Amino acid sequence: MESKEELKEQILELTRRYYQVAHGGKKEFCPGKSFVNYGGRYFDEKEIVNLVDSSLDFWLTAGPWAHKFETRLAEWLGVKYCVLTNSGSSANLLAFYTLTSPKLGDRRIRRGDEVITVAAGFPTTVNPIIQFGAVPVFVDVCLPGFNVDVTLLEEALSEKTRAVMMAHSLGNPFNIKAVKRFCDRHGLWLIEDNCDALGSEYTIDGVTRKTGTWGDIGTSSFYPPHHITMGEGGAVYTDDPLLNKITRSFRDWGRDCWCVGGVDNTCKVRFTGQFGELPYGYDHKYVYSHFGFNLKVTDMQAAIGCAQLEKADGIVAARRANYKKLYEGLKDIPELILPVAEENSNPSWFGFLIAVRDGVGFTRNELTGFLENRKIQTRNLFAGNLIKHPAFDEMRRTGEGYRVVGELTNTDFIMNNGFWIGVYPGMSSEMIDWMTASIREFCETRK
């Protein structure tokens, strides 16, 4: 009779063969007929083998694979702690709510406090601020970096300011040196939304670190088009043990207990502690210190992430190479503003952001329409200008709930004129050449 281990190995070997039949063949690229996606899953048989392997264990919720992923991602990033969650948006939610914990004393963010951010980006960088009851303070961005205009930070500051929370736009780091010094000078928290920038690097005073690790807390997303994927997934990371403990509490229902799944009494006071006004000795596993959530992942998702993480360095290198090829092919077109890396940075590009200059004889929509007709996917810079969206209608009518510093001139320009195309590792040289040739052809014919 075959053993469990022998049966598993047969299943995993069949899984490897299945990958080769179902996914392993290289598809021929036909310009104008084949789709050029802006992003997508980048995987081989290892991800599927890990997925099947973990499913056979039938752990289902977060377990050994999740712990393995958290440990390895923390090591890769160069931080002490990593908390795995079910999406990048949840990671942002957890990161922000972590800073509202009463355990942080006078430094905690309270309802009505202000958080400096930008409107040119993805909504879930800002949503947690509003959902909690704090006030986002929007400042403009700069071109051609498409990130925060740091000269506006002091103007945005008020006696209510408690934090800065913003993203590294499409993988291009914002000016971390200026933002971090601003935060340090005024005793503010810094949350780095690193969801689009996994593997980007930034240097301050000769020290190079990955983005997401310069602030108090960083976040990542593992949605399929992102640098690495587990389908749905995200992470929060920090070097601060208290922030890590609070994040885990908010992720896991708000519980006070920090035992991992399947383990009891790590604290050694499970039935001998006094918590709040509960009876002495109340089971610590059911003591709650925060109004939390349930934002864990399954072990099967984490197993995919473990295989993806092994490819992370190669994925980053491919994205940088694809950016360089696109930039070199388009840099002499005067009608376009191309993305330029922030000084002191080495971006791990998520996308290639282009803006059409005003008065050049064509619009962003005309150019993107041309590309889409050639089956080249394009995307706007997410929300463009967040405060123009229906979600802000009531706040705009009442004039409450957010604050704007100056004019969001460049933000509106990006909303009207900006779009991006992909640089993900699944792109071939033929695809890059087709995108470059198509953009050049359109611009030449409209001069």
Where in the sequence numbering do the catalytic residues fall? Answer: 226
SS3 category, 371: helix
Quick one: tokens of 61?
A: 């919720």
Cα–Cα distance measured from residue 44 to residue 12, given in angstroms and rounded to the nearest whole number: 14
- Kindly state the greatest CA–CA separation across the chain: 79
For the chain, how many residues are written?
A: 447
CB 438 within 8 A of CB 370: yes
User: Cα dihedral sign for 34, 36, 41, 43?
Assistant: positive
**For the chain, what is the total number of helices (H) and then of strands (E)?**
14, 16
- In 3D space, the residue among 39, 40, 44 whose CA is nearest the CA of residue 15 turns out to be 44
Quick one: tokens of 184?
A: 């340090």
Task: Burial-class residue 358 by CB neighbours within 10 Å (0-12, 13-18, 19+).
Answer: exposed
Cα–Cα distance measured from residue 342 to residue 247, given in angstroms and rounded to the nearest whole number: 30
Q: Please give the distance of CA 35 from its chain centroid, rounded to a whole number.
A: 25
Task: Burial-class residue 72 by CB neighbours within 10 Å (0-12, 13-18, 19+).
Answer: middle
Cα–Cα distance measured from residue 331 to residue 388, given in angstroms and rounded to the nearest whole number: 31
Encoded amino acid at 1, one letter: M
Q: H/E/C letters for each residue in 32-92?
A: CCCCECCCCCCCCHHHHHHHHHHHHHCCCECCHHHHHHHHHHHHHHCCCEEEEECCHHHHH
Angle, helices 64-77/299-309, rounded to nearest 10 degrees = 30
- In 3D space, the residue among 283, 277, 295 whose CA is nearest the CA of residue 232 turns out to be 295
